[in-house]
Amino acid sequence: MNEKLSLILPCYNEQENVPLIYDALSQLLETLPYDYELLYINDGSSDKTQQEIEKVYQKDPEHVHFVNFSRNFGKESAIYAGLQNASGDYVGLMDVDFQDPPEMIPTMMKAIKEEGYDMVGARRTSRDGEPKIRSFFARLFYKIINKISETEIVDGARDFRIMTRQMVDALLELSEYNRFSKGMFSWVGFKTKYLPYKNRDRMAGTTSWSFSQLLKYSMDGIISFSEFPLTLLSWIGGLSFIASSIALLVIIFRAVFFGNPTSGWPSMIVVLLLIGSILTLSLGIIGKYVGKIFLEVKNRPIYIIKEKK
Ligand code: UDP
Ligand code: MG
């Protein structure tokens, strides 16, 4: 019997792309020596995505499977649902908007089978076609997170990747509620390779990520994979404690030996404001971590399934 490749396809409002990606993938996968499964995850789309998925399912129930969420839970949840429901010996993950080129799949499989990699992903070497400002912030984000986190997060690496069953099982062990896959893929370890490719525009529909969502996504990434903001706060606190202690000693010394003729209101107000703002900032950052802990301890399911086939 052939080994099986499962492809996880998260869809959020992708009615045009669902049949297109089916045609492209089934045509390609028929030529490969693997049994295959296309696992659509409908992440609470509000358009006709579910109907389209059911259409391809009717056409090819042997290869098509789907999980339909009760509402939009986000791509990270869709990825997790895919990993939990995929039955293949190899499991791939790709967007349905053709930004992840299907024709890379044979090369990726080859690297796994012949070169012994546990995971092969794709890395964009250019960000052409993306708004300049978005690329700038994306680059900045990767710089910062790689400085402050011990887990390497590869710049330009997309979620597009294929991995072995062993690696999927390792990922499933991480059942945290706040999921930042880009970090988790590298946290679990295993031998990994990234193949370069050029960025391309999505085929149909529009991207569902706004700038503020991307900002939130990066903050979540930093908080999930780094304690640096907390360390930084301790340093700021420690250093300002030392500095103010020295200043205090100097002031006492001066007052005792030379009297105290100075009036220092403006400087005092500035120092007060500074300390106040550092405290507020600290509370805000700590609050972010506490909020994440709150979400984790509630231990809610990561997604809810309405239908599965
Ligand atoms: N997606 C999803 N849930 C969401 C948002 C997006 O499953 O809440 C899917 C979407 O259908 C697509 C993939 O995730 O297959 C990537 O989304 P998109 O193309 O909007 O992101 P971008 O390529 O711009 O990063
Ligand atoms: Mg896209």
Q: What is the pLDDT of residue 20?
A: 92
Name beta bridge partners: 37: 6
For 258-309, the DSSP string reads H------HHHHHHHHHHHHHHHHHHHHHHHHHHHHHHHHHHT--S--EEEE-
Please name which ligand lies nearest the alpha carbon of 181.
1
Ligand 2 ion: Cβ-proximal residues, 5 Å cutoff? 95, 97, 99, 202
**pLDDT tens digits, 215-231:** 888 888 888 888 888 88
**pLDDT tens digits, 91-140:** 999 999 888 888 899 999 999 989 989 999 988 877 776 778 888 888 88
Q: What is the pLDDT of residue 168?
A: 94
> Using a 6 Å cutoff on CB, does residue 74 contact ligand 1?
yes
> Using a 6 Å cutoff on CB, does residue 78 contact ligand 1?
yes
CB 95 within 8 Å of CB 168: no
Left if phi > 0, otherwise alpha if psi is -120 to 50, otherwise beta: which for 123? beta
State both tokens at 32.
């490969």
The helices-and-strands tally (H runs, E runs) of the chain is 10, 8
Closest-lying ligand 1 atom to the alpha carbon of residue 209: 20
CATH dotted code for 4-208+301-308: 3.90.550.10
Query: Which amino acid residue places its CA nearest to atom 3 of ligand 1?
Result: 75
User: Which is nearest to 134 in space by CA: 124, 122, 119?
Assistant: 124
> Using a 6 Å cutoff on CB, does residue 124 contact ligand 1?
no
Please name which ligand lies nearest the alpha carbon of 208.
1
ipTM of the complex: 0.93
Q: What is the pLDDT of residue 92?
A: 94
Please name which ligand lies nearest the alpha carbon of 9.
1
> Using a 6 Å cutoff on CB, does residue 208 contact ligand 1?
yes
> Using a 6 Å cutoff on CB, does residue 63 contact ligand 1?
no
Which of 69, 130, 208, 220 has the most ligand 1 atoms within 8 A of CB, as the residue to mutate?
208
3 state SS of 154 = coil
Low-confidence ranges of the chain (pLDDT < 50): none
Q: Find where tokens 């149909």 sit.
A: 204
User: Which is nearest to 196 in space by CA: 308, 297, 111?
Assistant: 111
Name beta bridge partners: 8: 39, 93
> Using a 6 Å cutoff on CB, does residue 159 contact ligand 1?
no
Tell me how far the alpha carbon of residue 95 lies from the centroid of ligand 2, in angstroms.
6
> Using a 6 Å cutoff on CB, does residue 12 contact ligand 1?
yes
Q: What is the pLDDT of residue 217?
A: 85
> Using a 6 Å cutoff on CB, does residue 79 contact ligand 1?
no
Closest-lying ligand 1 atom to the alpha carbon of residue 95: 15
Longest pairwise C-alpha distance within the chain: 94
Query: Which amino acid residue places its CA nearest to atom 15 of ligand 1?
Result: 95
Tell me how far the alpha carbon of residue 255 lies from the centroid of ligand 1, in angstroms.
65
Tell me how far the alpha carbon of residue 205 lies from the centroid of ligand 2, in angstroms.
9
Q: What is the pLDDT of residue 210?
A: 81
Closest-lying ligand 1 atom to the alpha carbon of residue 14: 11
